[in-house]
Amino acid sequence: MNEFIALGLSRPVVNAIEKLGFERPTTIQTQAIPKLLQNDTDFIGLAQTGTGKTAAFGLPLVEMVNPSLPETQALILAPTRELCLQVSRELDLFGQFQQGLRILPVYGGADIGKQIRELKKGIHIIAATPGRLRDLMRRKAVDISRIQYVVLDEADEMLNMGFKEEIDEILQETPESKLTWLFSATMPEEVRRISNQYMVKPFELSVGQPNTGNDDIDHQYVSVRPKDRYEALRRFLDYDKEVYGLVFCRTRRDAGELAEQLSRDGYRTDALHGDLSQAQRDRVMERFRSRHLRVLIATDVAARGIDIDNITHVFHYNIPEDLNFYTHRSGRTGRAGRKGISLVLAHPKDLVLIRRLEKRLKTQFSPVEIPSGQEIFEKRLMGFFQRIKKTEGHQAIQPLLPQLMQEVEGLSREELIHRLASMTMSRGMKAHLNGKELNAKSKASRSSTNGIELFINIGTFDVEGKSGFLSLVCNQSGITGSNIGKIDMSSKHTFFHVEEAAAEKVIQAFNGSQFQGRELRVNAGKPKNTKKSNKKKTFKKGKKKFQRA
């Protein structure tokens, strides 16, 4: 039996699914669809984009909404215009054999008059951004008083984007009898609050663990100095011509500048950021979707709702300021069962943040090396020769072959190949030959004892030599001397190696605590301004204090 039928879906809906080419349900679909079809419970699905969550709620919705009732029965709230459009497109496809079913996306930045006219025609399912829906409600253009289902899609994103008030206002207008289905990649406090306030004993489902990454994503990082970051990114793009990637920057300005620089260097790229008009955004997205662009540079906010299934790489040009963004960024790859790479171009001092991410996502980040110029050069050359093997000789050249052979007579096979290879060397390839080593020998990188090097602003002025330092660190953080490797002390600060697993404990134990009236700082590697910051004495109330060992 078709597995979708086994979940309780009807033939017309399953026919639509088959037409779409879905062969079997994804995990979240298998678990959510039968539950939602029971039509008697609120529901929380912890799932990232890419898991098939739209169909997990969309299939039951098109199944249960009644097209012969002339009223809006389901409302889907989503954070962005792109997501509204995507959801509505998918639901249109799922419901293509449900006679008379009408689905409409409404979102900000588009002609509200036109949306009002469409709504008047009678819509069964609305997919809306919260801001626009509230406007429409205030204009009495939409009636949600008989809604049976509310779906909060990417609830964490909606709250991140500041839609708290709108969501509250909207939910208060819906009838008590409705069912609420909430989907979210992460479960921060605010999302919990919504569920506590508006949902009754929700059935909770988690695909993978909450706040964790997706198994199809390979998380990697490189340690690179900021001044080499641009060149490092180029190396990755040049090394693998199949990269179809998204690069995240922290600010619009960084995104714009990076896109400009890459364009100047010959890459098919553009930036997607908040300064663009909706029409410009659409154009950029369309060019990326159709592969006219190979690399899209985006800010966190602008990239919300990007739904492209075959992105091979997500690059983090900087680690995100808010580590929660990492999940959303990396979730743009590894979608629909395909594998993807999420690569952080980390400042040597960011290693501690990487460790924090590992804990949070319960996954490992693998350190990778930036390809050397020589490696890229060799790969390109080999690629050229592999293509030679695959190329069929053109028939127009066939009759000229004797003449051509004559031209190169006297050259050995080796000489011929050597010259041919030399001729294929583009300017870019030659430039790679002179490329310098970019991998930062990071203070914070894994040491030979598989530890990381920490800095602390305690030195020989404060404790009696290495043994005094050791006992201080061990007593305060609860780790043992065997967790600590090389110790390098100066009068006011110390660098010391700690096993990775123990490093976080040390940081937690010391950071922000006070020592002889001085605020302590521990971080990976050497801070830029050690001298000055050591002199600075901070006395803060409420900080952790500890006794000298």
213 binds ligand AMP per the rule CB under 6 A: no
Smaller CB separation from ligand AMP, 26 or 494: 26
Q: Within positions 301 to 330, which residues make up the interface with ligand AMP, using CB under 6 A?
A: 307, 309
Instruction: From 52-60, 101-109, 123-131, 412-420, give the range in contact with ligand AMP by CB under 6 A.
Output: 52-60
Distances (CA, A) of 334 to 23, 320, 327, 330, 365: 19, 19, 12, 8, 15
Residues in contact with ligand AMP, counted by CB under 6 A, come to a total of 15
Instruction: From 5-13, 46-54, 235-243, 420-428, give the range in contact with ligand AMP by CB under 6 A.
Output: 46-54
Q: How far apart are CA 20 and CA 90, in angstroms?
A: 10
Q: How far apart are CA 100 and CA 193, in angstroms?
A: 37
**Pick from 255, 340, 256, 417: nearest CA to 49:** 340
The answer to whether the CB of 139 falls within 8 A of the CB of 106 is no
Smaller CB separation from ligand AMP, 53 or 380: 53
22 binds ligand AMP per the rule CB under 6 A: yes
Task: Return the structure tokens found at 102.
Answer: 């009408």
5 binds ligand AMP per the rule CB under 6 A: no
Please report which helix (H) or strand (E) contains residue 249, including its range.
strand 245-249
25 binds ligand AMP per the rule CB under 6 A: yes
Q: Within positions 131 to 190, which residues make up the interface with ligand AMP, using CB under 6 A?
A: none
The answer to whether the CB of 225 falls within 8 A of the CB of 348 is yes
Smaller CB separation from ligand AMP, 25 or 340: 25
115 binds ligand AMP per the rule CB under 6 A: no
55 binds ligand AMP per the rule CB under 6 A: yes
How far apart are CB 336 and ligand AMP at their closest, in Å? 4
53 binds ligand AMP per the rule CB under 6 A: yes
Helix, strand, coil tally for the chain in percent (to 5): 45, 15, 40
130 binds ligand AMP per the rule CB under 6 A: no
Task: Return the structure tokens found at 235.
Answer: 């190396």
52 binds ligand AMP per the rule CB under 6 A: yes
Instruction: From 45-53, 73-81, 115-123, 356-364, give the range in contact with ligand AMP by CB under 6 A.
Output: 45-53
Q: How far apart are CA 177 and CA 436, in angstroms?
A: 66
Smaller CB separation from ligand AMP, 49 or 73: 49
Site string for ligand AMP, 334-353 (x = CB under 6 A): -xx-----------------
Smaller CB separation from ligand AMP, 290 or 395: 290
Alpha helices in 106-244 (DSSP H): 112-120, 130-138, 155-160, 164-173, 189-198, 229-239
The answer to whether the CB of 211 falls within 8 A of the CB of 331 is no
Cα angle 423-424-429, degrees, rounded to a multiple of 5: 115
Binding site for ligand AMP (CB under 6 A): 22, 25-26, 29, 49-55, 307, 309, 335-336
